[in-house]
Every structure is written in C-alpha cells, then in structure tokens.
Amino acid sequence: MKKGYKVMTTAALAGMILGGAGWVTAATDVHASAAQANTGYSAAEQKAGKTPEITQNGITLGVSEAQYDGNYLKISVKRSGQGLIGGITDSKFDEKSQEYIREKGAIKAIQIFIDGKDIYTIGGGSLGKRPSLGWRPGPTPDAAIVELSDPSWLGGQQYAFPDKFKLTAKITLEGVEKPYTFELAMQKSTGSPIVLKPNLTKTSGKLTYNLSKLNLTSTSTRVLLIQKGYEKGKPSDIMFEFVDDQGRKLETLSGMGTDENNKDGDMYEDYVLSALEKDAKSITIKAYKPEFMEPGATSGLFKLDENGEIVKQEVKELEMTVKVK
C-alpha cells in the first residue's frame, strides 16, 4: 500500500485555479466533425443527439455526453483503437526532464473555445478571471471526463457562462499530430436549482470563514467560502471535505480560489461538488489540516492511514452545517 501521494501545496486549494496554475487531487490530472447537442432536462444534462467521433492515426475519439447545469460544464469523451497502452488520462512526471511522459493515445492537451473565444484569454488571461479547465479518469481506462467552471463566484463582476453557446473542444492525444476538434451546442438545463445564502461565519484563531452561498442542482453542488485573516503569501493549511446528514461524502469536482477580485483582499474559494442524494436533509462543511509525510512540511506527500486515507487534524471551530430541506 502506498504511504502517500504527491500533491501541491495547500495554497493550491485556497489560492490557485484548477487548470490554470492548478489544484491537483488524487483523481484529477490538470493542465493548462460537429454535432448538435440535445437537451434532456429530466436528468439536467445534455447528450449528443448523434455521438460525434473522429478517427486519426488509427485512434477514434468521441464525445458521448455534454451537460451544463449552471454550476459547471461536463464533457465525457471515449477513445478506441488497437495497441493502446494505459488509460487515456495516464501520465507520469519525469523528474529528470521535468516533463510529463504519456503513452500513445493519452490526453496531451485540451483547448476550449466558447463562441469562438479561447477560455484562457477571457478576463485578460488572469487566473482569477478566466474559466477553469481540468480532466479526470472516466468509468473505464479509455474514458475521460472534462470539466469547466466559470469565475463568476470569485468576487466582483466576473465572466459567467452564457445560458446558450457554442463550445469548441480541441483535444490533442499523444502520438497524434492534429487535435480532435468537436463543436457542441450547449444550453443550460432548465431545472430550477436550490439557491441558499446562509451567511454563516466561523472563526479559528485569526482565520474567519464565511459560508456565503450554495447552488444545488440534480447533477452538482456549488459552494462559496470566503476566507478572511489569512497571511498573504503564506500557504493556507486548511482544507475541506463535504458530507451530507447521513455521512456520505460529496466528491470534489473542481476548486478555484483567488483574492484578486475584491478590494478587501479576501480569499474567495469556489467548490463544485457532486450532487446531494435526494434524501439528504443537510450538508456539512468539515475543515481539517492534513498531515504530511515529512514533519512540519506544507507540501509534498500526504501522510496516509492504513486505509489509504489522508491523516487529518479536524478543525471543529470551522465546521458548518446547512439544512437543504
């Protein structure tokens, strides 16, 4: 059993952007012919009416699902081909070359355009003003899930995805020179989300966290925490996990954070999580400090217990619970 795994500093959780600089979780690898999508509102998702597929160099890549629920945008892709080794999201960092090594057919890069505009140019390209982009393994080694969220919850009047837009995805696979280009007509699902503004505040030492708002849909949960009192330039050692009233953990799909969009210099932390179960009555935000393999370290390998879970020091003073029904 592994004793630890490589992570970024905890500042990545509080002050960096997924897909820009990057917040890396154990399940996520982050980097910087067309079909019309039909809407299936009962499941708050959009599925391609005809699965778009492109074949290059003997490798076929297709989009099997696309959805935008107002919290985040999800695109599911799947590949097929002969002689492929490893998963589509697999990569290994080479310490000597300081580069990622991938097998043929693995995702090398993804570019996303919204109505023809590269998302990395939105907001002047600033990390706290442009959409985030990341991808993670899908249900099989040949499947990947691409996820995006906009910076509209990061303070000020930031860019928000339109209710309806054309999305262009250019996906480059290792060993294939040209990117696979897909065009999808996206539309926000019409289901009514549950919007909560609890304005709960908790304090621990000099740190104060405010639970500002939540947006709950049938496919995701979005949470905004605003942090005050942190020391600028110093990594935060506070991390969070989210559970419902029955103890079921919500998966963290993406996380973005910045202090550059408000005059007070507060840290806005925007989390997109998996959806609550239908019978859930509340959501609890649990704060903790992770332990690292190296004593006193603030980055490197997390210390894991016998079950492979991060060893945590709970910060009960910052725990918050909100009723959702």
| Residue 18 binned pLDDT confidence (cut-offs 50, 70, 90) | very low
Is 132 a domain residue?
A: yes
Share of the chain above pLDDT 90, in %: 72
- Is residue 9's pLDDT more than 50? no
Question: What integer is the mean pLDDT of 71-80?
Answer: 98
Is 7 a domain residue?
A: no
We report the CATH number of the domain holding residue 224 as: 2.60.40.1640
The per-residue pLDDT for 231 is 80
On whether both 300 and 271 belong to a single domain, the answer is yes
On whether both 66 and 208 belong to a single domain, the answer is no
The per-residue pLDDT for 300 is 83
Higher pLDDT, 30 or 303: 303
Residues belonging to the chain? 325
> Comparing 44-58, 252-266, 303-317, which segment has the lowest mean pLDDT?
44-58
On whether both 64 and 86 belong to a single domain, the answer is yes
- Is residue 35's pLDDT more than 80? no
On whether both 138 and 198 belong to a single domain, the answer is no
Question: What integer is the mean pLDDT of 93-98?
Answer: 90
Is 73 a domain residue?
A: yes
- Spell out the residues 6+ positions from residue 186 whose beta carbon is closer than 8 angstroms to its own: 37, 46, 66, 68, 73, 164, 165, 166, 167
- Is residue 16's pLDDT more than 50? no
Q: What is the pLDDT of residues 157-203, one digit of tens each?
A: 999 999 999 999 999 999 999 999 999 999 999 889 999 999 999 99
- Decide which of 170, 187, 204 is a domain's last residue: 187
- Is residue 325's pLDDT more than 60? yes
Helix (H) or strand (E) holding 12: helix 11-15
d(CA 271, CA 69): 15
Is 16 a domain residue?
A: no
Higher pLDDT, 63 or 16: 63
- Is residue 143's pLDDT more than 70? yes
- Decide which of 134, 159, 187 is a domain's last residue: 187
On whether both 316 and 183 belong to a single domain, the answer is no
| Residue 50 binned pLDDT confidence (cut-offs 50, 70, 90) | low
Is 20 a domain residue?
A: no
On whether both 243 and 95 belong to a single domain, the answer is no
Is 9 a domain residue?
A: no
- Decide which of 161, 187, 213 is a domain's last residue: 187
Question: What integer is the mean pLDDT of 256-267?
Answer: 91
Q: Cα-flanking dihedrals φ and ψ of residue 300, to 5°?
A: 110, -130
On whether both 59 and 182 belong to a single domain, the answer is yes
- Is residue 78's pLDDT more than 60? yes
The label of the residue with tokens 């020391």 reads 231
On whether both 182 and 277 belong to a single domain, the answer is no
Single-letter amino acid code for the residue at 17: I
Q: Where are the beta strands (DSSP E) in 188-315?
A: 194-196, 200-204, 207-216, 220-228, 239-244, 252-258, 267-274, 282-290, 300-301, 312-314
Share of the chain above pLDDT 70, in %: 84
- Is residue 270's pLDDT more than 70? yes
Q: What is the mean pLDDT of the chain?
A: 85
Is 289 a domain residue?
A: yes
On whether both 181 and 198 belong to a single domain, the answer is no
If one counts the domains in the chain, the total is: 2
Nearest one of 309, 241, 234, 308 to 271, comparing CA atoms: 241
Q: Cα-flanking dihedrals φ and ψ of residue 257, to 5°?
A: -155, 145
The per-residue pLDDT for 236 is 76
On whether both 155 and 232 belong to a single domain, the answer is no
Question: What integer is the mean pLDDT of 210-223?
Answer: 98
Strands 143-149 and 73-81 turn out to be antiparallel
Is 59 a domain residue?
A: yes
Determine the structural domain holding residue 108 and report its residue range. Answer: 31-187
The per-residue pLDDT for 26 is 28
Cα distances (Å, whole numbers) of residue 190 to 47, 69, 187, 213, 305: 15, 8, 9, 20, 43
d(CA 308, CA 230): 30
On whether both 212 and 173 belong to a single domain, the answer is no
On whether both 52 and 104 belong to a single domain, the answer is yes
Question: What integer is the mean pLDDT of 74-83?
Answer: 96
> Comparing 36-40, 148-152, 183-187, which segment has the lowest mean pLDDT?
36-40
The overall pTM is greater than 0.85: no
We report the CATH number of the domain holding residue 56 as: 2.60.40
> Comparing 3-7, 116-120, 280-284, which segment has the lowest mean pLDDT?
3-7
